[in-house]
Amino acid sequence: MQRRRMLQTMSAGAVALFGQLPGRADQVDPRTGAQLVRKRYESKATGAPREYFLYLPVGYQSETAKKWPVILFLHGGGERGDGLEELKYTLRYGPLMEAWTQGRDLPFIIINPQMPMFEPPQHERPPLPERSPEGAAPPRDYGNRPSQPMAREAANEEPPPQSPRYPPWMRWETLEDEVLAMVDNTLADYRADTGRVYLTGLSYGGYGTWFLGTRHPKRWAAIAPICGDGDPKLVDRLVAQELPLWIFHGGRDTVVQPWRSLEMAVALEAAGHPDVRLTVHEDLGHNVWTRVYEGQDLYSWFLKHRRE
């Protein structure tokens, strides 16, 4: 595997963080040649070894002259774990589930970290969807779809006063340095396109997408937060970079209210952002991500954007 020159943005600490521990055995899809790599590192947040998934797409091994775009995916609260035996839960939703479990040809290197649990799980996790022995893709998990009728007039309501913006369980910021080091090492060690690095996440990861997007807007070619929330006071950072955004939310979401995404979109537009989208799936509740990631629109939109 070719090794490219280290990016200037990579810190010495990031190299030390990732360069000491061996990885685990890779998995190769025998039908397509796509590869799922487990990358090991010493976590500063937990003080223990952890791993993350790195997906190398169909054609990566054979198309040796090609530079591949990269997606950093941040999962939701139900997929947290120890970063070792529980890392598999990050395959439940998202681009990597689509590429690996569903067997789709998504032309991206995909980085899948796992957030620590921080507190005991509140309920038993259901079994993960897996391919059949014959290789057939499993049904997708759409969660509990809301049964109440749509209420379009709710879009005209004023947001609740003094509603907290950042719940105490929002934890992706505690892994900020580790996650960014994963990106830097991927760009350095693999045939990755440094101008096409994309960021997306759902629920907890939607918050994390807003957080990393506003903290590091120069890193990303485009971002797509799903049913999360950001800080309207920080939108000038995104506007200054003209960072393309596509925001998604479920219109009947009772976990993260949809007005939070609307407020961010309005603030961005008011600040002069030239390229922001907001898509509200009015028939869905909190789990809007399965529909978003199983479609093709988001991936095609990502590929239209490049950071110079």
Percent of the chain with pLDDT over 90: 67
pLDDT value of residue 164: 52
pTM: 0.87
Helix (DSSP H) and strand (DSSP E) numbers for the chain: 8, 9
pLDDT value of residue 197: 98
Residue spans per domain, the chain: 12-121+129-303
User: Among 67-71, 78-82, 106-110, 219-223, whose mean pLDDT is lowest?
Assistant: 78-82
64 pLDDT more than 70: yes
203 pLDDT more than 80: yes
The segment with the largest mean pLDDT, out of 20-29, 182-191, 252-261, is 182-191
Any long-range contacts for 255-262 (C-beta under 8 Å, 24+ apart)?
A: 255/203, 255/227, 255/285, 255/286, 256/203, 256/206, 256/227, 256/228, 256/229, 256/286, 257/159, 257/160, 257/163, 259/157, 259/159, 260/159, 260/165, 260/228, 260/229, 261/225, 261/227, 261/228, 261/229, 262/155
- What would the two tokens of residue 192 be? 């990755």
pLDDT value of residue 275: 85
Number of alpha carbons in the 13 Å side-chain half-sphere of residue 224: 24
Q: 24 or 113, which is more confident?
A: 113
User: Among 41-45, 125-129, 165-169, 270-274, whose mean pLDDT is lowest?
Assistant: 165-169
Beta strands 49-56 and 68-74 are unpaired
Q: What is the mean pLDDT of the chain?
A: 85
The answer to whether 206 touches 229, Cβ cutoff 8 Å, is: yes
Q: What architecture is the 12-121+129-303 domain classified under in CATH?
A: 3-Layer(aba) Sandwich (3.40)
Q: 123 or 199, which is more confident?
A: 199
